[in-house]
Amino acid sequence: MRVYFDNAATTPLDPEVLKEMYKVMENHYGNPSSIHAHGREVRTLIERSRKTVANLLHTSPAEIFFTSGGTEADNTAIRCGIADHGIKHAITSKLEHHAVIHTLEAMQKAGVIKLSFVDTDDKGNIDYQHLEILLQQNERTFVSLMHANNEIGTLTDIEQVGNLCEQYNAIFHCDTVQTMGHYAHDLSKLKVNFLVCAAHKLHGPKGVGFLHVNHKLKISPMIYGGSQERNMRGGTENVYGIVGLAKALELAYTEMEQHQQHIQGLKTYMIDKLKHEIPGIGFNGETAPEKSLYTVLNVSFPEMDMADMLLFNLDIAGISASGGSACSSGTDIGSHVLNAIGANPTRPSVRFSFSKYNTKEEIDYTVNKVREVCLVNA
């Protein structure tokens, strides 16, 4: 039996998405920048996809810019948002994705900004009082905080962050790569300047995403070379990917409630089963449904011999998951997220992440195999 529990890394392509993309590949090959009929056909597909995305998010198509994925979108928002608005101070957390942290750290090293880290607790929750203290400085600030952590699943109240940013005239960039398509984002109400998506996290294709840029905030391109994306991103558009992204997001919104119930049921079932089967089991981050991304469960296992072989043993058993540990030596940098929340470095951790395609039978199989590995290495 092969079980795929690494959906936070990437998800299987939905057959309906593949079907939609294949139709474009087979029948529409014109360059969307060309003015002839073949080009106009493809341009129509792109703009129809843009409108689909915008309608689902309750925003204008003019605020949606297609990119190569989440990393490019994050970099564009951070680099151009800071440069074009003379920002000298940025706030983030030590739990952010490296696409955010490494970009901000590089800008700090270059002397462009001063970088502050908001406090977080041992579950990965943002300290909103500390965030407000950091925002109370006189300079205009750039805030970058993700909606849900990709390793431990803890959710951030981005409505509260957005309200604080508006109050202190700060620019708010939110990485929603893990939550796009899993929660409804109403951009007519959410006070956010930049929002990010990667299609392959919601059963769409790899190599495509989008950046939402609020119309009140203008930025320059990060990639030059052509007039594509309304002069915001040079380079011929990934037409098949864009069509696939729009279809994947449309399916996600149509099926959102039933998938939330199904996947949250799987996560709760696995938590209960692990607690029953493995003494001393623990969890990194929040696990309560209202505080945690329902697709992610980060499990902290009891100390064991050959802990670094845990993932390997699971792979041998046919189970695909991801993991890591907090820093335990000078040579092992470990997970920056687990380090930030003060996780025990002697306990191995595994992230199990679920999708609509997973089943309770797969969880039963996985927990049994995990129990066997724990018993052998106890």
pLDDT in tens, 109-151: 999 999 999 999 999 999 999 999 999 987 899 999 999 999 9
Task: State yes or no: pLDDT of 342 exceeds 50.
Answer: yes
Please give the average per-residue pLDDT across 176-194, as a whole number. Answer: 98
As its CATH architecture, domain 3-11+255-377 has Alpha-Beta Complex (3.90)
* Active-site residue (options: 80, 165, 197, 327): 327
If one looks up domain 15-254 in CATH, what number appears? 3.40.640.10
CB 317 within 8 A of CB 3: no
* Integer Cα distance of 95 and 371 in angstroms: 30
Q: pLDDT band for position 325 (50/70/90)?
A: low
Q: What are the E-state strand segments in the chain?
A: 3-4, 64-67, 89-92, 114-117, 141-144, 171-175, 194-198, 209-213, 282-284, 296-300, 319-320, 322-324, 349-353
Task: For residue 141, give Cα distances in angstroms to 78, 112, 251.
Answer: 12, 13, 36
Q: pLDDT band for position 36 (50/70/90)?
A: very high
CATH 3.90.1150.10 residue spans of the chain: 3-11+255-377
CB 232 within 8 A of CB 280: no
How far is C-alpha 80 from the geometric centre of its chain's CA atoms?
A: 20
Q: pLDDT band for position 330 (50/70/90)?
A: very low
Residue 329 is predicted with a pLDDT of 42
Give the percent of the chain with pLDDT over 70: 95
Measure the N-to-C terminal CA separation of the chain; round to a whole number of Å: 25
Q: What are the E-state strand segments in 231-306?
A: 282-284, 296-300
Q: pLDDT band for position 310 (50/70/90)?
A: confident
Answer yes or no: 327 catalytic: yes
pTM score, whole prediction: 0.95
CB 169 within 8 A of CB 315: no
Task: State yes or no: pLDDT of 331 exceeds 50.
Answer: no
